[in-house]
Chains A and B, each alone.
Chain A
Amino acid sequence: MSASTMEAALLLAGVLFMLGLISVLIRRNIIFMLISVEIMLNAAGLAFIVAGSRWVQPDGQVMFIFILTMAAAEVSVGLALILQIYHQLKTLDSDAASFMKG
C-alpha cells in the first residue's frame, strides 16, 4: 500500500469522524445522536486499522476488536436509556431531557 493511499485512508477516518461530530452537534433527535456516536467510533477504529496496516502488525486490529466490543456495550446501554427517556418524557428530543431532577 503506497504512502498516498495511507494518507487518503487517514483522511477518510478524519472526514468520517468530523461528519459524526457535526451530526452530534446539529441533531436534536436522541437516536440520531447515538447513531452519530457509532459513526465516530467506527472512524476511530478505521484509523487504528490504517496504522496496523502501515506497520503490518496485528496490534491495530486488536484495538479495533476492543473498540467494537465497547461500541456494542455502549449501544445496548444507550438504547436502554433512550427507552427510559421516551417512557418518561414521551419525546425523543434531547432538549427535553436537559434537567436533572430525579
Chain B
Amino acid sequence: MELTFYIAAAVAVLSTIMVITRYNIIHALLYLVVSFLAVAVVFFTLGAPFMAALEVIIYAGAIVVLIIFVIMMLNLTQEDVQREKEWLNPSIWVGPAILSAVLLAELVYIVAAGTPPQTEGAVVAVDAKLVGLSLFGPYILGVQLCGIMLTAGIVGAYHLGRQKKKVIHRFLQERSAAA
C-alpha cells in the first residue's frame, strides 16, 4: 500500500509539472486529468475511497470537460486540419498514456491483492457513511452555505456568460430610421 502511494505521488508530481510546462491547452488538460487521477489514487491509499470517487467524477470529469467546452466555444482560429493531424502524433499522447498505465497497474494490483490482513499501522478507511453522518450532522450549516454559493455561482455564470444584445432606445431608432 505504501509503495502504491509513493508511485501515485510521483505520477501526480510528474504530470503536474507537465501541465504547467505545456504550450498547448489541450495537452495540458490531458496531463491535468492524469494528475487528478493520481491524486485520487493517493486519496484511496490514505483511506478516503469516497473522496477518491468524487475526485474522479467532479475534478477529472466535470471541471475538465467544462474547460474543454469553453476552449471549443472560444473557437480559436489558428486550428485547422493540419494542426488536428499534428495533435494525433504519438509523441503527444504517449506521455499521459504511460502515466495512466502506471495508475491502472496499481488499480489492478489493489483489486487482485484483495483485503490485506489488518496489521499494526495499517490504513483505517473512513467510509462514506461516516462522512455523510458528519456532513448532515455538525456541518449542516456548511452544506446550506454551499447550496447558497452554488446558486450564486449559477446566477453569476449565467449573467457573465450571456452575450448582450445591443439595445437602442426607441427615439434613437426613429432617428436612425429617419436618417
Q: Which residues of A approach B to under 8 Å, CB–CB? A: 1-2, 5, 8-9, 12, 15-16, 19-20, 22-23, 26-27, 29, 31-32, 34-36, 38-39, 42, 46, 49-50, 52-53, 56-62, 64-66, 68-77, 79-84, 86-87, 92
Contact A73/B153 with A1-B123, A57-B126, A68-B58 known, Cβ cut-off 8 Å: yes
How far, in angstroms, from A31 to B130 measured CA to CA in the complex? 37
- Binding stretch for chain A, among B44-52, B80-88, B89-97, B165-173: B44-52
Contacts of B146 in A (CB 8 A): 66, 69-70
- Chain B's interface: helix, strand, loop or mixed, by majority? helix
How far, in angstroms, from A32 to B153 measured CA to CA in the complex? 21
- Chain A's interface: helix, strand, loop or mixed, by majority? helix
Shortest CB distance B59–A (Å):
6
Contact A2/B63 with A58-B134, A86-B74 known, Cβ cut-off 8 Å: no
The one of B70, B124, B133 in contact with A82, judged by C-beta atoms closer than 8 angstroms, is: B70
Contacts of A26 in B (CB 8 A): 20
